[in-house]
C-alpha cells in the first residue's frame, strides 16, 4: 500500500472514530440500551434491528428505528419473549414490512430459548437462522458485519465491545455501495462485485494498517467520504 494512502487512512480513522459523528446514527439505538445497563439480549436485539434498517438516509433510518422501538415500548427482549408482534404488510422502513420484523422476532424468540447470546453465530449462520435468507457463500452480509463490528470492537469510543469471545482481528468490513466506491477510489480494491471476496480484499488492506483492529478502516472510509463531500 502506498505510504501516503496509509497515512491518510490513519489520520481519518483517528479523527472520525469519535462518537460525535454518530449521535444520529443506527448505532445510537443499541448504545441507548448499553448505556442504561440493559441486558445483553436487549442490546443485541436493538443491534439486529438497527443494522437491518441501516440503508437509506440517516434521518429516515433513525425515524423508523424509533418507530420500531416505540412499538416495543423500548423493551426489545421483553417484546421478543412475549410473542405478540405487529404483523401486517405495511411498510416500516422502505421495503421492510412489519410482517418481516415479526418473523425476525419469532426466530429470535426461538434462539433465546436455548441460548444466552447471538455471539456464537457466524455471519452465514445468522443470515440463515435470524433472517431466514438462503445460504450464499458469496454474500457480503453487510448488515450482519455491521452489527458484529458494533458488538465486538472495544476501544470505548463508538463501538460497544460487549462480545468478548469474538476477536476484532477477524471482523469483516460492512460492505455497501459507499464503502465500495470509496475503497476503489483509494485503490484498496478493483473488483466491481460487492460480494464477500471484495469485502475480504478491502479488510485485508485495512489489516496492513491495523493488524489487530482492521475495522478502524471503516471509520477511515467514513472520514474519506465526509472529506470528499466538503471538497465537492
**Rounded to a whole number, what is the distance in angstroms from the first to the last CA of the chain?**
26
3-state secondary structure the chain: CCHHHHHHHHHHHHHHCCHHHHCCCCCHHHHHHHHCCCCHHHHHHHHHHHHHCCCCCHHHHHHHHHHHHHHCCCCHHHHHHHCCCCCCCCEEECCEEHHHHHHHHHHHHHHHHHCCCCCCCCHHHHHHHCCCCCCCCCCCCHHHHHHHHHHHCCCCCCCCCCCCCCCHHHCCCCCCHHHHHHHHHCCCCCCCCCCHHHHHHHHHHHHHHCCCCCCHHHHHHHHHHHHHHHHC
pLDDT attached to residue 230: 64
- pLDDT by position in tens, the chain (length 232): 889 999 999 999 999 999 999 999 999 999 999 999 999 999 999 999 999 999 999 999 999 999 999 999 999 999 999 999 999 999 999 999 999 999 999 999 999 999 999 999 999 999 999 999 999 999 999 999 999 999 999 999 999 999 999 999 999 999 999 999 999 999 999 999 999 999 999 999 999 999 999 999 999 999 998 877 666 5
Contacts of 168 (CB under 8 A, 6+ apart): 152, 153, 154, 212, 213, 214, 215
pLDDT attached to residue 231: 63
C-alpha cell at 200: 475480504
Distance (Å) of CA 78 to CA 40, 49, 83, 84, 193: 12, 15, 9, 10, 40
pLDDT attached to residue 227: 76
Amino acid at each position: 500500500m502506498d505510504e501516503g494512502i496509509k497515512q491518510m487512512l490513519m489520520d481519518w480513522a483517528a479523527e472520525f472514530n469519535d462518537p460525535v459523528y454518530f449521535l444520529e446514527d443506527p448505532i445510537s439505538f443499541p448504545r441507548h440500551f448499553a448505556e442504561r445497563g440493559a441486558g445483553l439480549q436487549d442490546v443485541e436485539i436493538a443491534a439486529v434491528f438497527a443494522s437491518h434498517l441501516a440503508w437509506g438516509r440517516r434521518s429516515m433510518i433513525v425515524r423508523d428505528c424509533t418507530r420500531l422501538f416505540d412499538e416495543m415500548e423500548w423493551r426489545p427482549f421483553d417484546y421478543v419473549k412475549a410473542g405478540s408482534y405487529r404483523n401486517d404488510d405495511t411498510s416500516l422502513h422502505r421495503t421492510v414490512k412489519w410482517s418481516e420484523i415479526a418473523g425476525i422476532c419469532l426466530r429470535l424468540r426461538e434462539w433465546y430459548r436455548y441460548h444466552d447470546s447471538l455471539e456464537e453465530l457466524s455471519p452465514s449462520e445468522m443470515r440463515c437462522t435470524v433472517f431466514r435468507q438462503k445460504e450464499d457463500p458469496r454474500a457480503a452480509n453487510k448488515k450482519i458485519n455491521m452489527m458484529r463490528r458494533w458488538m465486538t470492537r472495544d476501544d470505548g469510543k463508538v463501538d460497544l465491545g460487549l462480545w468478548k469471545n469474538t476477536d476484532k482481528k477477524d471482523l469483516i468490513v460492512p460492505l455497501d455501495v459507499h464503502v465500495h466506491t470509496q475503497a476503489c477510489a483509494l485503490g484498496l480494491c478493483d473488483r466491481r462485485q460487492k460480494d464477500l471476496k471484495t469485502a475480504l480484499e478491502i479488510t485485508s488492506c485495512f489489516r496492513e494498517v491495523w493488524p489487530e483492529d482492521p475495522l478502524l478502516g471503516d471509520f477511515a472510509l467514513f472520514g474519506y467520504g465526509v472529506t470528499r463531500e466538503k471538497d465537492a
